[in-house]
């Protein structure tokens, strides 16, 4: 494993009480693979990614847990230790690529800045490396002289990937790298990412709300709901034989990137308010399979090798899967 997170807790101070945005999340990213972190809007994906990077907003607080990175244990509370890993060991592509590019500087100058200031490159060598990086991500090196606004959305995203690759990090965390793009450009960027990952043997944590992105490009997946990881394992296994009702529901709710599918079934209702999360299973209010036991919180447990699930009814997954495939199961009466 390149990265292991245990019982991570991140809270935000707010006037109306603390938001427990990540509340006991467990996650392991294997070396040399792409791991997807998927879940609906507001379930804490960006918060988790930013906590690993040590770049939480001011009102964010690492409230507990452990982070192991490449054989080292970092105390989750020690934000300065996390910051020291930035760029060189772990790099980050933020949720909007515009956030990683400064509009007033040429893209090439921003790339050189990272290489010189953080990587200790000599100017000349930084120029060569910038050309190389643009080539790697499929951008014409002549465009290094452009400003970000002269790039299309897809090109900006490629530039953000080039920035992330600049110092040969061991792990790249990409937060929704293709979300704002049309499906064709999404596939092109994901193809580039996959190719680079293979070529450079990168480890990638890819954050997305779109399970079809996971199906298209990820080796492993962790499904997050209301601040916790509820299922994780090999992507192929988790997506075709899910054990958690939330994963079953997510799969029904998204179109496939590769082929047109039939009707989509939404999961009705919305995630709980993370200022006052329910004590039991956090999916209970929306789960068609909830039983009285679900008033207690299920722990994430290994159900088969490499496959973890947090659900009291995981042992009945075969029957639940059959029911989950019926649209009526998800319709509230």
Ligand X SMILES: Nc1ncnc2c1ncn2[C@@H]1O[C@H](COP(=O)(O)OP(=O)(O)OP(=O)(O)O)[C@@H](O)[C@H]1O
Binding site for Mg ion (CB under 5 A): 45-46
Nearer to ligand X, 154 or 272 (CB): 272
CA–CA separation, 140 and 39 (whole Å): 35
Binding of ligand SF4 by 94 (CB under 6 A): no
Least distance (Å) from ligand SF4 to the CB of residue 292?
Answer: 9
CA–CA separation, 204 and 332 (whole Å): 38
Phi, psi for 257 (deg, rounded to 5) = -70, -25
Only one of the segments 9-17, 194-202, 207-215, 307-315 lies at the binding site for ligand SF4 (rule: CB under 6 A); that segment is 307-315
CA–CA separation, 219 and 212 (whole Å): 13
Binding of ligand X by 177 (CB under 6 A): no
* Bridge partners of residue 61, in order along the sequence: 11
Contact 108, 130 (CB under 8 A): yes
Closest CA to 228 of 45, 56, 28, 65: 45
Alpha-carbon distances of 148 from 110, 130, 135, 144, 269, rounded to whole Å:
10, 15, 17, 10, 39
Site for ligand X in 194-253 (CB under 6 A): 209
Binding of ligand SF4 by 231 (CB under 6 A): no
Nearer to ligand SF4, 50 or 282 (CB): 282
Only one of the segments 24-32, 152-160, 188-196, 311-319 lies at the binding site for ligand SF4 (rule: CB under 6 A); that segment is 311-319
Q: Tell me the number of residues near ligand X by CB under 6 A.
A: 17
Residues found near ligand X in the complex (CB under 6 A): 12, 14, 19, 21, 39, 41-47, 57, 59, 95, 209, 274
Q: Which residues bind ligand SF4 (CB under 6 A)?
A: 244-245, 281, 283-284, 287, 289-290, 294, 298, 311-313
């Amino acid at each position: 494993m390149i990265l292991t997170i245990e019982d991570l807790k991140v809270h935000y101070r707010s006037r109306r009480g603390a938001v427990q945005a990540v509340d006991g999340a467990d996650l392991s990213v294997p070396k040399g693979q792409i791991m997807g972190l998927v879940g609906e809007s507001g379930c804490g994906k960006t918060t988790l990614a930013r906590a690993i990077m040590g770049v939480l907003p001011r009102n964010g607080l690492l409230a507990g847990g452990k982070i192991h990175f490449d054989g080292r244990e970092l105390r989750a509370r020690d934000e300065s230790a996390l910051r020291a890993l930035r760029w060189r060991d772990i790099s980050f592509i933020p949720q909007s690529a515009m956030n990683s590019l400064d509009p007033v500087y040429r893209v090439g100058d921003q790339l050189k800045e990272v290489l010189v200031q953080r990587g200790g490159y000599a100017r000349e060598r930084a120029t060569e490396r910038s050309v190389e990086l643009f080539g790697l991500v499929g951008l014409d090196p002549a465009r290094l002289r452009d400003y970000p606004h002269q790039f299309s959305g897809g090109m900006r995203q490629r530039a953000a990937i080039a920035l992330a690759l600049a110092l040969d990090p061991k792990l790249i965390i990409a937060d929704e790298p293709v979300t704002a793009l049309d499906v064709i450009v999404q596939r092109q960027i994901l193809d580039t990412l996959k190719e680079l990952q293979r070529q450079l043997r990168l480890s990638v944590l890819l954050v997305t709300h779109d399970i079809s992105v996971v199906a298209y490009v990820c080796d492993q997946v962790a499904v997050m709901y209301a601040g916790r990881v509820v299922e994780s394992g090999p992507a192929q296994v988790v997506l075709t034989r899910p054990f958690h009702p939330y994963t079953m529901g997510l799969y029904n709710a998204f179109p496939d990137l590769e082929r047109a599918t039939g009707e989509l079934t939404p999961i009705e209702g919305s995630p709980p308010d993370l200022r006052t999360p329910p004590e039991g299973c956090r999916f209970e209010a929306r789960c068609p399979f909830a039983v009285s036991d679900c008033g207690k919180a299920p722990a994430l447990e290994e159900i088969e090798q490499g496959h973890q699930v947090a659900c009291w009814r995981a042992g009945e997954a075969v029957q639940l899967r059959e029911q989950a495939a019926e649209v009526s199961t998800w319709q509230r009466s």
